[in-house]
Amino acid sequence: MFDLQDILKEEYRKKESAISFPQLLQMIEEVLEINLSEEVAAPEGFSFEPQEMIMRMIPDVAVSEIGWSDVRTTDEGDAVSGPQRQLLIQFLDNIAGETFEAKIKSLADFYEKGAETYEETTGNRGELLAKTISYLVFYKTLTKVITNFNASSAGFSFESFLGALVNGEQIEANTGTIADYLDKATGSPIPVSLKLYREKQLEVGGSYTDLVNDLVRPQYSHPLGNAMRYVVCTKDLEGAGLEQQGAIRFFQFDFTLDNVMDILAESKDISRKCILLPRQIVSALQAGAQRVDINQSLPSKQNLPSAEEMEPQFIDFLTRHINAHLEASPESPLQFLRDDALKGLVNGIKWAKNDDLFADADPRYFGGVKKGIVRGVSAMPNREKVKPWVAHNYGDRLSGRGLQWLSALIVKANDELRAQHASTRKADERRLEIARMVQDGEFLSAEESAAVYKGLGSAQQKTALLNSYGYLTTGHFSLNQTRALNPGEPTNTLALGEIKVGTAYVSEAIGRVQEILNEQVYEIFQSLKTLSDSINAYFAGGLKNDSEAGSAISNAENIVSRTEDIREK
């Protein structure tokens, strides 16, 4: 007979409490010399109602740990995924499709057709079961991402989640790109900037200067050459908190060196102004020049740097403030924020990209002109923006003063940066001169600039962008929902599909594949429940009732037998 009783007694001496489910599985593995955790998922509790049991048996992935849970890199420079992210990737690798578009279509089809989506291309029953569980994991995890968190936290978790779907890699802060993650579904990494907004509230925007830098001097390859991919998602949900349900619609388009002017020429006024080209630069380019620079005729550069250019300064301020706090307060709950943990905090904040943490800039800094969020000017409201973000991402490690201290340090770093750039704004002779040039007609209109740009070669287009009004003034671009989701020219946005979100929809998806989650799987989880009950009864009885230990052994053997049956079919 297996020596389960001795193992249980030893474990009881160690824990002196009711056994947890992970501990239980570990003990069974030791006795039976198998890796049960690779064969079945361990729910936290059981029900003998099939629908409820299946819902509970879908593996739970800790959403807060699928992003920057491990910020180490290999010798080759590749990011090291944390355990929860690795677990999620293992499941999502089973989603059919060689591209992001194909995966979204497959997931959308799954909700309508169930296992028909992939059944014909699947081998044995074990593989079919693995795929089925993987699709359900996607649905369940997506529902957790969207319904459990506030807008800022959900956006970051959603980015982590989609990055895992395409076997991708989130891009660290302070790397000089507006891309959020790399899509590696096809093998070749494609830079992606992700936007998630409520239906009818979508805005695709950001630093025009940083967008130009990504198109002129790209850090990553793209199938279309000098380009940046935008994955745009709109959520249409009803209800509040965990009770929310509805759908997320997925869209995709690319900013390229060729179409950027055409796209922004049809955008909001703030974007249209970005693409204005100086007449003297246009004349030189049309005369055959390849590289010209209007900065030679302007006052020295005193306008605000771009968001990506300022981010290292924010990181430096934040790092300095946190280190000073840790040195002054040896007992502070923030003592864990050292080395990799501090790097993870910086990557999570995404100061240069995460608009959800900022308030609009005070128009008085720009002569009464509303410019939206401007790094170096915009404040980070603590109560409304920063503290909720900190609570979501570090609520498992911090509470009370710890949460207050960390959020206050983040706000303090941003305020210090704003103060440093205040003198820059006051002494901006360059900005005044550029404004005079616009007033005096020394820039082409948006329509004229876009038309001229079309006739230039790629090298000249790069020069034109580097001399455009928005680049010279670190402007902000913005596309509303109608423009961003336009299926025609110039964006040619692709509608990738719609995926349902909410517990009720996960339950419906289960109903379509319940036959595959057959009696064998159901019996495994019945045995797991009985095993758990027997173990806890054995402990509660002071390790005296050997019949409970015998029941545990019998159910453990049944789990192994049923698991092997599934593998062999």
Question: Mind listing the pLDDT tens digit for each residue in 47-104?
Answer: 435 455 556 667 777 776 666 444 444 455 555 466 777 888 888 888 989 999 999 9
499: three-class secondary structure by DSSP: strand
Using the 8-state DSSP alphabet, how is residue 364 labeled? G
70 and 164 assigned to the same domain: yes
Higher pLDDT, 407 or 395: 407
In a domain, 536, yes or no: yes
- Ranges 144-148, 407-411, 420-424: which has the least confidence: 420-424
Task: Check whether 523 has a pLDDT greater than 50.
Answer: yes
Per-residue pLDDT, 522: 58
Residues found in the chain: 569
240 and 182 assigned to the same domain: yes
Per-residue pLDDT, 299: 77
Task: Check whether 210 has a pLDDT greater than 80.
Answer: yes
Q: How confident is the model at residue 361 (pLDDT cuts 50, 70, 90)?
A: confident
Instruction: Identify the domain boundary among 427, 445, 471.
Output: 427
Task: Check whether 457 has a pLDDT greater than 60.
Answer: yes
Q: Cβ(3)–Cβ(24) under 8 Å?
A: no
Q: How confident is the model at residue 201 (pLDDT cuts 50, 70, 90)?
A: confident
Instruction: Identify the domain boundary among 378, 398, 427.
Output: 427
Distances (CA, A) of 48 to 199, 223, 528: 39, 51, 12
What percentage of the chain carries pLDDT values higher than 70?
Answer: 72
Query: Which residue bears the tokens 């802060």?
Result: 173
Half-sphere exposure of residue 43, counting CA atoms within 13 Å on the CB side? Answer: 18
Q: What is the mean pLDDT of residues 340-350?
A: 85
Q: How many structural domains are present in the chain?
A: 3
Per-residue pLDDT, 43: 42
Q: What is the mean pLDDT of residues 542-549?
A: 59
In a domain, 447, yes or no: no
374 and 313 assigned to the same domain: yes
Q: What is the mean pLDDT of residues 256-279?
A: 94
- The token duo for 387 is 């503290």
Nearest to 186 by CA among 171, 172, 166, 170: 166
d(CA 116, CA 512): 10
73 and 133 assigned to the same domain: yes
139 and 186 assigned to the same domain: yes
82 and 230 assigned to the same domain: yes
Distances (CA, A) of 205 to 17, 75, 374: 54, 35, 12
- The token duo for 154 is 């959900």
In a domain, 204, yes or no: yes
In a domain, 510, yes or no: no
125-148 and 151-165 helices cross at what angle (nearest 10)? 160
The whole-model pTM stands at 0.73
- The token duo for 82 is 């944390």
Task: Check whether 463 has a pLDDT greater than 90.
Answer: yes
In a domain, 70, yes or no: yes
Q: Cβ(421)–Cβ(376) under 8 Å?
A: yes
Per-residue pLDDT, 529: 59
d(CA 366, CA 270): 13
Query: Which residue bears the tokens 């100086």?
Result: 278
| Burial class of residue 30, CB neighbours in 10 A (0-12, 13-18, 19+) | middle
51: three-class secondary structure by DSSP: helix
Task: Check whether 449 has a pLDDT greater than 70.
Answer: yes
| 165-203: burial string, b at 16+ Cβ within 10 Å, e else | bbbbbbbbbbebbbbbbbbebeeebbbbbbbbbeeeebb
Task: Check whether 142 has a pLDDT greater than 70.
Answer: yes
70 and 95 assigned to the same domain: yes
d(CA 81, CA 538): 39
Q: Cβ(127)–Cβ(196) under 8 Å?
A: no
Q: How confident is the model at residue 309 (pLDDT cuts 50, 70, 90)?
A: confident
- Ranges 19-28, 76-85, 222-231, 303-312: which has the least confidence: 19-28
Helices vs strands, H then E, count in the chain: 24, 8
- The token duo for 18 is 């009711």
403 and 311 assigned to the same domain: yes
Per-residue pLDDT, 470: 92
| Burial class of residue 456, CB neighbours in 10 A (0-12, 13-18, 19+) | middle
Instruction: Identify the domain boundary among 427, 452, 474.
Output: 427
Task: Check whether 502 has a pLDDT greater than 80.
Answer: yes
Q: How confident is the model at residue 281 (pLDDT cuts 50, 70, 90)?
A: very high
495 and 525 assigned to the same domain: no
Q: What is the mean pLDDT of the chain?
A: 79
d(CA 495, CA 350): 28
Q: Cβ(308)–Cβ(339) under 8 Å?
A: no
Per-residue pLDDT, 42: 40
Identity of the amino acid at 482: T
169 and 239 assigned to the same domain: yes
Task: Check whether 300 has a pLDDT greater than 60.
Answer: yes
- The token duo for 362 is 């005070």
Per-residue pLDDT, 306: 83
- Ranges 7-11, 146-150, 187-191, 395-399: which has the least confidence: 7-11
d(CA 348, CA 270): 29
Per-residue pLDDT, 444: 97
Structural domain that includes position 129: 64-259+491-504
In a domain, 554, yes or no: yes
Q: Cβ(85)–Cβ(65) under 8 Å?
A: yes
397 and 331 assigned to the same domain: yes
β-pair partners for 252: 231, 494
Q: What is the mean pLDDT of residues 389-399?
A: 84
171 and 314 assigned to the same domain: no
β-pair partners for 235: 198, 248
| Helix (H), strand (E) at residue 229 | strand 227-238
d(CA 354, CA 536): 47
Half-sphere exposure of residue 415, counting CA atoms within 13 Å on the CB side? Answer: 10
- Ranges 143-147, 205-209, 309-313, 318-322: which has the least confidence: 143-147
β-pair partners for 25: none
β-pair partners for 248: 235, 499
191: three-class secondary structure by DSSP: strand
In a domain, 109, yes or no: yes
478: three-class secondary structure by DSSP: strand
In a domain, 463, yes or no: no
d(CA 432, CA 84): 52
Q: What is the mean pLDDT of residues 261-268?
A: 94
77: three-class secondary structure by DSSP: coil
**Non-local CB neighbours of 181 within 8 Å, separated by 6+ positions:** 159, 162, 163, 166, 168, 169, 170, 171, 192, 194
Task: Check whether 32 has a pLDDT greater than 90.
Answer: no
Task: Check whether 20 has a pLDDT greater than 50.
Answer: no
